């Protein structure tokens, strides 16, 4: 048997030593022919060109550091070494790093996550929460010693110092930053604040990458409290900006966007107060005018006013009556001397007439006096209280004979004409 003869195992071992020693650090570019993300966390894939292909593997520890996911048909550059599995005489490319061909890994990871989250509806406006108009409590999720926090607090003090601020400290860059930011966001959601602001100041793409992680996007999307993303400078647009309810170009700008300016509020309140005072004065004057009008109407229709009017009319009539009465009295008084003179003249004539009549009656009385009429031997005859003549006496009837000094009751015994 020849001295160069060796066993299969020996051959594979020598091939392994040779290949692994020769290709310890190699860069290979090609198109992804197949890809499998195993449940164990390992990545199995193959790359090819127009003539051949090679199997590749990336262990879980390296996969965890990748910012993007490879897909079939993607043109990539892999970095690693050749490894040989001696029991089967198979070799593969053991990968430690993968980069997109002609494109940065972070840029690709950014676009991949952006596309994936958009398809999940994370960017949809219907999921955006409305920020309250009047913010009383706010949570700032950022590094407690950062310049971004200082800038935000400075703007808060300047614009709306009476707001209640809670600072939730977290890492904002580094491998552990994304998980800490997500945890801090979920904690801020339990503080019963009106708005949560998450962010940091400017930096490189690597420094800001924590805000492009899916774990942070998930936390923002599932918060019940409205979230404002304020990361980096105005040109920096993070995945957190798309998922948040409001995107601010800088941390300082976030405070200016969500908080009112106390000076503007005071100016507005003063203007409102002046308008209110003017409106109140106008309404007051209108009410006074209306009240005066109603008072006039009430006075015109009130019983008291009617009584006053009636009393005035009565007073006027009373004065008129008094005037007429005084005129009448004055007129009559002026006629009294004349009337008195006429009256006295008439009375005098009347008295004279009465005196003459009295004298005549007196004469008649005297003439009719029985004492004057009766001569000696004559008497007046009366029967039943009435004066009668002798021829009226009846026989056997009593009668009375009476002169000026004597009254005699007699009986008619007989009578005859003389």
Is residue 203 a part of any domain in this protein? Answer: yes
Q: Does residue 239 sit in the same domain as residue 153?
A: yes
Q: Considering 206, 234, 260, which residue would you say is the last residue of a domain?
A: 260
The answer to whether 79 and 93 are in contact (CB under 8 A) is no
**Using one digit for the tens of pLDDT, what is the confidence trace for 179-233?**
999 999 999 999 999 999 998 998 888 888 899 989 999 999 999 999 999 998 8
Domain end, chosen from 199, 234, 260, is at 260
Written as six digits, the tokens of 286 are: 């209108």
Does 256 lie in the same domain as 139?
yes
User: Is 210 in contact with 236 (CB distance < 8 Å)?
Assistant: no
pLDDT value of residue 292: 87
- Is 285 within a domain? no
| Cα–Cα distance, 94 to 54 (Å, whole number) | 11
Nearest to 141 by CA among 242, 235, 56, 254: 254
19 lies in the same domain as 91: yes
User: Looking at residue 57, which CATH number applies to its domain?
Assistant: 2.40.50.140
Same domain? 235 vs 150: yes
pLDDT at residue 198 in the model: 95
Within-domain flag for 269:
no
Residue-level pLDDT at 371: 57
In a domain, 1, yes or no: no
Displacement of CA 389 from its chain's centroid (Å): 129
Domain co-membership, 39 together with 79: yes
Q: Which DSSP string do the residues of 59-71 spell out, in sequence order?
A: -HHHHTT-SS---
Q: How many domains does the chain have?
A: 3
Task: Report the pLDDT value the prediction gives residue 103, as an integer from 0 to 100.
Answer: 64
Question: Residue with structure tokens 């420094």?
Answer: 207
Regions of the chain where pLDDT drops below 70:
1-3, 102-105, 366-377, 418
Structure confidence at residue 255 (pLDDT): 93
List, in order, residues 6 or more apart from 224 with CB less than 8 Å away: 189
Q: Which domain holds residue 188?
A: 119-124+135-260
Same domain? For 64 and 167 the reply is no
Residues near 230 by beta carbon (within 8 Å), at least 6 away in sequence: 148, 152, 197, 198, 199, 247, 248, 249, 250, 251, 253, 254
Task: Verify that 142 and 246 share a domain, yes or no.
Answer: yes
One domain, residues 140 and 98: no
- Asked if the structure places residue 151 within a domain, the reply is yes
Please tell me the distance from the alpha carbon of residue 127 to that of residue 246, in angstroms, as a whole number: 12
187 in any annotated domain: yes
CB 176 within 8 A of CB 209: no
Residue 300 burial (10 A CB sphere; 0-12, 13-18, 19+): exposed
Q: CB of 77 within 8 A of CB of 98?
A: yes
Residues 96 and 143 in one domain: no
d(CA 135, CA 190) in angstroms, rounded, equals 16
Q: In 3D, which of 272, 232, 274, 279 has the Cα closest to residue 251? A: 232
Do 220 and 243 form a contact (C-beta atoms < 8 A)? yes
Same-domain check for residues 164 and 96:
no
Domain membership flag for residue 271: no
For residue 130, being part of any structural domain is answered with: no
What's the confidence (pLDDT) of residue 179? 94
pLDDT of residue 104: 65
């Amino acid at each position: 048997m020849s001295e160069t003869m060796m066993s299969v195992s020996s051959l594979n071992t020598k091939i392994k030593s040779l290949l692994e020693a020769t290709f310890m650090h190699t860069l290979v570019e090609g198109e992804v022919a197949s890809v499998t993300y195993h449940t164990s966390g390992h990545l199995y894939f193959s790359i090819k060109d127009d003539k051949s292909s090679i199997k590749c593997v990336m262990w879980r520890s390296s996969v965890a550091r990748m910012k993007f996911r490879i897909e079939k048909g993607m043109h990539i550059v892999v970095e690693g070494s050749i490894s040989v599995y001696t029991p089967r005489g198979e070799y593969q490319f053991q990968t430690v790093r993968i980069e997109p061909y002609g494109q940065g890994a972070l840029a690709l990871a950014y676009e991949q996550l952006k596309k994936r989250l958009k398809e999940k509806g994370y960017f949809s406006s219907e999921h955006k929460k409305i920020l309250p108009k009047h913010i009383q409590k706010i949570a700032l999720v950022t590094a407690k010693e950062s310049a971004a926090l200082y800038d935000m607090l400075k703007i808060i003090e300047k614009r709306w110092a009476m707001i209640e601020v809670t600072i939730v400290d977290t890492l904002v860059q580094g491998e552990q930053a994304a998980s800490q930011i997500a945890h801090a966001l979920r904690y801020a959601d339990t503080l019963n604040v009106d708005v949560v602001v998450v962010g940091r100041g400017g930096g490189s793409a690597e420094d800001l990458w924590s805000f492009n992680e899916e774990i942070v996007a998930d936390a923002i999307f599932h918060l019940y409290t409205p979230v404002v993303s304020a990361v980096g400078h105005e040109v920096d647009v993070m995945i957190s900006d798309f998922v948040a309810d409001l995107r601010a170009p800088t941390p300082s700008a976030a405070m200016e966007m969500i908080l009112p300016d106390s000076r503007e509020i005071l100016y507005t309140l003063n203007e409102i107060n002046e308008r209110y005072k003017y409106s109140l004065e106008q309404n007051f004057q209108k009410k006074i005018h209306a009240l005066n009008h109603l008072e006039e109407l009430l006075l015109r229709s009130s019983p008291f006013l009617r009584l006053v009017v009636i009393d005035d009319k009565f007073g006027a009539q009373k004065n008129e009556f008094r005037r007429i009465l005084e005129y009448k009295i004055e007129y009559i008084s002026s006629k009294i001397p004349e009337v008195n003179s006429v009256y006295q003249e008439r009375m005098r004539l009347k008295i004279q007439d009465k005196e003459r009549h009295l004298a005549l009656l007196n004469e008649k009385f005297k003439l009719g006096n029985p004492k004057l009429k009766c001569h000696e031997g004559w008497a007046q005859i009366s029967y039943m209280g009435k004066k009668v003549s002798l021829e009226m006496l009846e026989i056997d009837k009593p009668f009375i004979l009476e002169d000026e000094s004597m009254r005699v009751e007699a009986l008619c015994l007989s009578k005859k004409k003389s």
